[in-house]
Amino acid sequence: MSSLNTLFGGLELKSPIIVGSNSQTASIDKIVEFEKAGAGAVVLKSLFEESIAREIAANVSDEHPEANDYISYFLSEKVVGDYLSLIAEAKAKCSIPVIASIACHTDGKWEEFAKRIEQAGADALELNVMSLSTSRNYTPGDFEKLHENIVSNVRAMVRIPLIVKMGANISNPVALCSNLYAKGASAVVLFNRFYPTEIDIDKLTFTSGNPFTSAADLSGALRWTGIVSAAISQLPIAVSGGVDSYRGVVKSLLSGAHAVEVASAIIKQGAAWITEANSGLKSWMEGKGYKTIADFRGAMNATDPENAEKLLRTQFLKYFSEVH
């Protein structure tokens, strides 16, 4: 029998399938259901730095400055307190690793929450760096430095594994991943998904685009996982975005990932998707004669020069010459 066990950022997982942060992972009942379906771990719905700041801004007033500090503290404590309770309850009800998540876009006071998250019992903390670099005064490297500063500051406060989920808008993921590892990151996730922008041309308003990923979104993460896993073999990687079947799980592992984070497919198809994907992965492994994930993980990453040539290819010339 083939084993689906894997290690990711210091966490022992019974399956490489991690339920990614989404609205359902704020429900204890759903988290229990995901564990029963065979999930290796679950990432709780993110605690949004931006949401806390927005709620505080909406409730403070210049008319009563003496009350602002109290209101800010109260609102922050309420949001964070609820999140700590979610962690504690999830740990009480589940045996799989529970990963807390902070969606952050600045390096600042929110980092103090990390210690309390650790004390609440979280097995790991995912730092979801949700930010765009748009300043005209931008100096190359500033955006990457933000990631490094966040990791350094949080690592100084906690001992649990730190997982960095970064966007695809990084000029050199290899260099950043190497620096994050040096700063104390235990693993990385490639990549987070930004809010999808859409425009209603009749109403002339912005609307939300399709929030779900599909198999077509997997390509970028496969490329960079194949490259980064070869360059920094000691840094575990999870693929996120576009894993919609067991085939996506297999592709991610072949590229060098230790795990995958899945949200869209589970939201659309329910916890049964996890069971089906685990079954498909195990059947594929047995068909190929693999006993463990380690037997084939990274088999198609850039360590092999032939694979590297394909992963580093940026032009369509060869494809179009063959087709036409």
Q: What is the pTM of this model?
A: 0.89
Give the span between the Cα atoms of 277 and 215, in whole angstroms: 14
Q: What is the pLDDT, as a whole number, of residue 55?
A: 47
Residue type, 259: A
Sign of CA dihedral 15, 255, 124, 210: negative
79 close to 51: Cβ distance less than 8 angstroms: yes
Half-sphere exposure in the Cβ direction for 254 (13 Å, CA): 16
Distance CA 272, CA 279 (A): 11
Half-sphere CA count of 178, side-chain side, radius 13 A: 9
Per-position pLDDT tens, the chain of length 324: 899 999 999 999 999 999 999 999 999 999 999 999 999 999 999 886 655 555 445 544 455 444 444 334 445 677 888 999 999 999 999 999 999 999 887 776 678 889 999 999 999 999 998 777 777 887 888 889 999 999 999 999 999 999 999 999 898 999 999 999 999 999 999 998 877 889 999 999 998 888 888 888 999 999 999 999 999 999 999 999 999 999 999 999 999 999 999 999 999 999 999 999 999 999 999 999 999 999 999 999 999 999 999 998 876 655 555 554
> CA distances (Å), 168 to each of 265, 305, 307, in order?
20, 24, 21
